[in-house]
Structure 1
């Protein structure tokens, strides 16, 4: 048996580091943290004790060719404090969105993607939708 304590990090491949850093730093408002001096480019972000790692690999097999938003494609989810505030911010930043405020999952969801098509779900308990 395996006993887990937490999810430590999620790694995503990107093709353009500056474009990706703009999205994760300025659009999603994540805090960039120090990263070891690997022999390949990338960036790390802190997300309430867990981490998101970006790895530049233009030949990655995990970069989606079809960039359309879909809640059924592989993605990672971040819990946000306020649905309406998050939705308004993303719209102000002109981010393409898939809104699911009444998802049968039990929480309100917003899906978006970075420039490489990596899907991100932002969700909130329905009682905290704002």
Structure 2
């Protein structure tokens, strides 16, 4: 097969700062190198390695100056609808649920937990500022009893 792995996903957001805070302060991503595209945005990295060009690309939608984004990526449906559309969720393998849980509580980010005993997995579901569902998968041993 020619496809090797998922490279990144992009989120068009009306609130770049809120998205940045969610992904950096709650989930511990790091903002790093991003080329000088003709529209606002940020590339977020899992760690210090920038060789794979970021895991998440935040695309800032500037209603007052949309030309650069429209010229580069083209027209899309209304940006203010939010949510996942046909995409149900994005999932990450994760560790240290109690630390992330504390950050969720500190930042007022609601979450739901589910244990999948057959997989030895704790699934945690969050919603980012644009309405995208994020699933974090932890070892089931990290579940509070």
Q: Which residue of 2 aligns with 1:42?
A: 41
Asked if structure 1 preserves the Cα contact closer than 8 Å seen for 2:10 and 2:58, the reply is yes
* 1:55-103, Cα deviation, whole Å (9 max, x unpaired): 1237854868476xxxxx6221122112333223312321111221x13
Mapping of residues 1-130 of structure 1, within 5 Å: 1-4=1-4, 6-48=5-47, 50-57=54-61, 60-61=76-77, 65=81, 74-100=88-114, 102-103=115-116, 106=119, 107-129=121-143
Q: TM-score, normalised by structure 1?
A: 0.76
User: Which ranges in structure 1 are unaligned for 5 or more consecutive residues?
Assistant: 68-72
> Hey, which of these two has a bigger chunk of strand by percent?
1
> Hey, which of these two has a bigger chunk of helix by percent?
2
User: Which ranges in structure 2 are unaligned for 5 or more consecutive residues?
Assistant: 64-74
Distance 1:111 1:60, change over 3 A: farther
Which structure: larger Rg? 2
Q: CA deviation at 1:128?
A: 4.8
